[in-house]
Every structure is written in structure tokens, then in C-alpha cells.
Amino acid sequence: MWLSATELVRAYAGGDLSPVEVHRAVQRRIAELEPTVNAFWQRDALESERAAQQSEARWRVGEPLGPIDGVPITLKENVARAGVPMPAGNAGVTPVVPDRNAPITDRVLESGAVVLGSTVMPDWGMLSSGVSSLHGITRSPLDPRLTTGGSSSGAGAAAAGGFGPLHVGTDIGGSIRLPGTWLGLATLKPSDGRVPIDVPYLGRVAGPMARTVDDLALLMSVIAQPDPRDWASLPPAEIDWDTSGFEPRSVRVGLLLDAGCGMPVDPEVRAVVERAAGALGDAGAEVVPLEPWMTDDLLADLDTFWRVRSYVDLVALPPEQRERVLPFIARWATAAADTPGTRLMQCYTATNTIRARTVAATQAYDIVLSPVAPMAAFPAEWPMPWGEGDTAMAHIGFTVPLNMSGQPAATADAGRTADGRTVGVQVAGRRFDDLGVLRAARWLESALRGR
């Protein structure tokens, strides 16, 4: 089922399609592909069929609950659904069983969406792949030999595989956007607080993943609502999530081709981003090359901060459960075992330095265009882009600064490598300008289609 959410809603309103027949088509697609891609942690086809039937009855009398009534959607396994265990992709933990929904879950249910299930993630969400000690390997529907990216691995696989048009992921360093580039998706890491989460954490957001930018905007119109369970959620905002009207001639674009840290950018990836910048320039945008503001030391500090956090979780497990954690994650976290408190505070301070530098470097520009990751998709069996070796977070130099600064960042499918792997571009903006980012991403999506 390849129709977008916006197309489905129009078809429902016109009586050309029903939520039940769409749901059944999606279930057939899942049955065909799920044994290969491994996108779901939990799904109940009977439950979602009942939801589709209820939606169909509402559409029949012209009373949809909201703008995504009857549209199939998935939620990442760390987005709470009451009664559904949340193991965080980890075979070593005792899953939390929430007694209430997350804010996002409530919003999509209130709008009548048909929740297909919860999608998988790698251990504690600390890998940029679909490798999990609990779930096994999640693979790209485009080429099962390749990774989906992560940690929103199942959401990415579901989006690229045609398991409905709308999907929700989370992102603390690139976990929504990396599947975006490696699966040819449209994704959005919203501004901090734009989409309430429960509970908030430094740099962590939830956001939409889809195959079109218009579908991102449609889902944002539902989930970008304040909720008191997230004390950092933004106040109500009247946003018309119309993605049309982007005018390149009035836009100043910062072009970042060197992250200043981590792995060098593959020439094929760089060429795709340069073509996107060229399209904007040809349409009248002012394109200004940017100097990098990140450093290897800052990225290493952030990596150490996360290692310590994960080590605390690791040593809290009983020894027999600890042994079930993915060996890569156990090694990565244990490397921080002897980190002193003074060093940890230095690493925390680095997050503020990253925030300040990112805001200062980007505020003069309406959008900042860059690679999402320095490389195209890698083998599905690898936990990280370099395999089993430990080079920390060398691949997130373009994505993670925007988590620390709280700025919105989208991905748009922009090209292919010579061997056919997808390459996206990242479109970032000033904090709170989520709509401006989506409008720019939609323009690029259209301008670069077929290039």
C-alpha cells in the first residue's frame, strides 16, 4: 500500500476507499515482507481491524474524529501504549509495562488513526542500526542486505516497506534522520518541546517518519499539541501545517559539507548534497558555505556522557540479565566504568558548548543544508557504520548538534550512490521554525525527484 496519508484521507472523504480495505491491504503487505525486514515488536491485526471498522463507520456518516482518521500508523516501542511492554530493544532488561499511553499515543488515537503496532529498536536506542539483542536484525525493505539505520529501525523499515504511510520515531542524536537517509524517507526531528514526550530527556524528541513531506506535516498537525506530562512541551501555537509556498529567492542557505568531527564525508554523499545546494542556488537562494563548529573532542565528550548513562543502566541489571545485552553495547558502555565525576561534568558541560556553538553558527540562515550522515547504508549485520570496532559516535557529527540545540531538522530523499543506495539531505532551521524546515524539505523533495 503506497498511497500517502493525505491521499488516503481524500479517498476516504470521497468514498473511493475505506479504512477497512486499506487496513487489509497493509496487512497483506506486512505478511509478505515482515519475515524479512523484522519491523514489529508488537502488533495485533484483529485489534487494528476493529479500529479500521470503527473509522469506516465514522467516515460513512461524515464524522471523522480528526485529520488522520482511518490512516494506518506505527509507534516506536519506546512510545508508551498502555499494557504493551517496553523492552527498549534489549534482551537483558525486564520490560516496563506502562499503565498509560504516551502523549503521542493519545493524540493519534483521539484523531482516529489505526495503530498497527509498536516497532523495534536496538538495545537502549544506542545504535544507528537495526541490530538488537532482543529482536535480532531489522533489514532494509529496499535491499535486505543493508541496514535500516537506527535507532528508529523498525519505524524506518515499516515506512520504506509500505506498512502504512505514517510512523513515529524518536531521536536523541540522529535516530529519526539516519533511517531517513538510508531508506529514502522524509523525516522530521522537531524542535525541542514541539511534540510532547513522557518523560523528556536531554536532546531527545519524537517525530514523524513517512514517504512524503506532506505526510510529515499532516502528522505534526496531530501530535504537536502541548501536554502537561512533558514539562518542557511548548505552549499552544496556531500553526497551519501547509508545506507549500517556499520561495528560494527569499532564503539564505548555509551549506555545511564538513562536520568538523568524526568520519569524512563520502564523495558520493557530498555530491548529492552539492546538487541539492545547486538546485536552491539555481532557483535564486543565497547559498553560503559554512565552516564547521564541532570538534572531535566535543563529540568524544558527548559519547562519554552517553556511555556513562548506559553503564549505569547496565550495572543495575542482575549478572544473568547483563549477559543478554548486545555485546557491542556492553563493551561500549563498560569502557566508561571508571569515569570520575569531574570528567562526567566536563562531558555534560560539552553538551552546552555544542548547543551554544550550533545556535551561533546557524542563526544567520533560514535553513542549513548538510549531509545527514557521512556515508550511505552499510551491511545490516553491522551495529555501527564501521562494524564491530569502537569509534564512538563518529557518524553523527551532522545530526547530534541539532539535538543539543533543540533546532528542527528534516530529511529529504535527494539522490543515489552509483550502486543504488539512497542518500538524503538534512534541512535544519532555527528553533521553533518546524514549518519553515518542512517547506524547504518539500521543495527539495520535488526539485530533486528523479535526479
Residue 151 annotated as catalytic? yes
Q: How far is CA 267 from CA 328, 333, 368, in A?
A: 29, 32, 19
Using only C-alpha atoms, the chain has a radius of gyration, in whole angstroms, of: 21
Measured at the CA of 428, the angle between CA 309 and CA 406, to 5 degrees, comes to 40
Tell me whether strands 422-429 and 114-119 are parallel, antiparallel or unpaired: unpaired
Length of the chain: 451
How many CB atoms are closer than 10 A to CB 288? 13
Report how far Cα 291 is from the mean position of its chain's Cα atoms. 26
Q: Pick the catalytic residue: 133, 153, 175, 370?
A: 175
Q: Pick the catalytic residue: 48, 111, 129, 151?
A: 151
Residue 147 to residue 103: CA distance in whole angstroms: 30
Give the burial class of 297: count Cβ atoms within 10 A of its Cβ; 0-12 exposed, 13-18 middle, 19 or more buried: exposed
Cell numbers given for 416: 543515489
Give the burial class of 240: count Cβ atoms within 10 A of its Cβ; 0-12 exposed, 13-18 middle, 19 or more buried: exposed
Q: What is the DSSP string of 174-205?
A: STTHHHHHHHT-EEEEPPTTTS--SS--TT-E
How many CB atoms are closer than 10 A to CB 83? 11
Residue 175 annotated as catalytic? yes
Residue pair 400/177 in contact (Cβ under 8 Å)? The answer is no
The sign of the dihedral angle between the CA atoms of 426, 427, 433, 434 is negative
Q: How far is CA 169 from CA 104, 118, 181, 314, in A?
A: 11, 10, 14, 24
Cell numbers given for 42: 508488537
Q: What 3-state DSSP class applies to 75?
A: strand
Q: Pick the catalytic residue: 4, 18, 55, 76?
A: 76
Angle at which helices 434-448 and 267-282 cross, to 10°: 100
Catalytic residue ranges: 76, 151, 175
